[in-house]
Chains A and B, each alone.
Chain A
Amino acid sequence: MAQTPKNTIDRQKLNDLLDYYAAKMKRQLRHCMHCTLCAESCFLFKMHRGDPRYMPSYKVINSLGRLYRRRKRLELKDLEEIKEIVWRNCVLCTRCWCPVGVNIPEMIALARAVCRSQGVYPRLNENFQQESWL
């Protein structure tokens, strides 16, 4: 039952997924004004007493933004870091609101899909327990 993770990135699959949504996602990333008004709409941000790592814009810029910026130099350790952002720091409750209209849950969901396509996702350990960080 052990889930063996892969140890290399499937570039073809990565590029297919990122290319399909590139125009829309890059446009939305560009439209982010870094105003942080979305922070107030995220209950995780509020519960963590204003920790900037739980701001929707921070999550998007450091997950999907990072995927698009570092696409050619992406490695599995980058995906592991992105995994923590999109699965721990966000629950996809879609409560986040952007004054400009950026669809934040869509971007987090795409980042999750990209990680999942590379075999990077929250796993059960040998005792069938969740990873401790989740």
Chain B
Amino acid sequence: MGLPAFAEGVTDALTILVMFCGLLFLGRRVLLRRVRTISTFGDYLALSITLAPFVSGFMAYHHLGDYQKVLTVHILCGEIMLAALPFSKLGHMLYFFLYRFFLGGEYGLTRRLRVW
């Protein structure tokens, strides 16, 4: 008796969905001229850090490559992603809901001065 878990087919499908979305974002960053102009190394790094645990986890689950090594890479990638969360662009996922209404263009909650 343990905690309830998703069926394996569901987790597989969700991982493939995440990898597909990641590819879409990477494609957007590389192919669209306006995004390519403004992209920096940090943008590509943030995307790689986010995708790496999913790709390595998928490979480990399906035993693609040396299982022990791929599993180690998967664990390390997961830890790197969690460690990099507050120090990189990834932190926006959490901070966005805090600073959205306090930044200059949208002083909705401080000065009651909305632009829209």
Contact = CB atoms under 8 A, between A and B. Distances in A.
A36 B34 contact: yes
B104 A102 contact: yes
Interface string A13-39: 000000000001000100101111001
Interface stretch (A78-86, A93-101, A111-119, A124-132): A93-101
Interface in B26-48: 32-40, 43
A103 B34 contact: no
A102 B105 contact: yes
Interface residues of B, number: 23
- Tell me if B's interface is mostly helix, strand, loop or mixed: helix
A103 B104 contact: yes
Given A33-B89, A34-B43, A50-B33, A104 B38 contact: no
B67 interface: no
Q: Name the 8 nearest CB pairs between A and B, nearest first.
A: A103-B104, A101-B103, A52-B37, A103-B105, A101-B106, A52-B34, A101-B105, A34-B38
B104 A33 contact: no
A77 to B, nearest CB: 22
A101 B100 contact: yes
B36 to A, nearest CB: 8
A57 B106 CA distance: 17
Interface in B8-35: 32-35
A58 interface: yes
Nearest to A104: B105
A101 B37 contact: no
A95 B92 CA distance: 24
Interface in A30-61: 31, 33-36, 39, 50, 52-53, 55, 57-58, 61
A34 B40 contact: yes
Contacts of A10: none
A97 B106 CA distance: 10
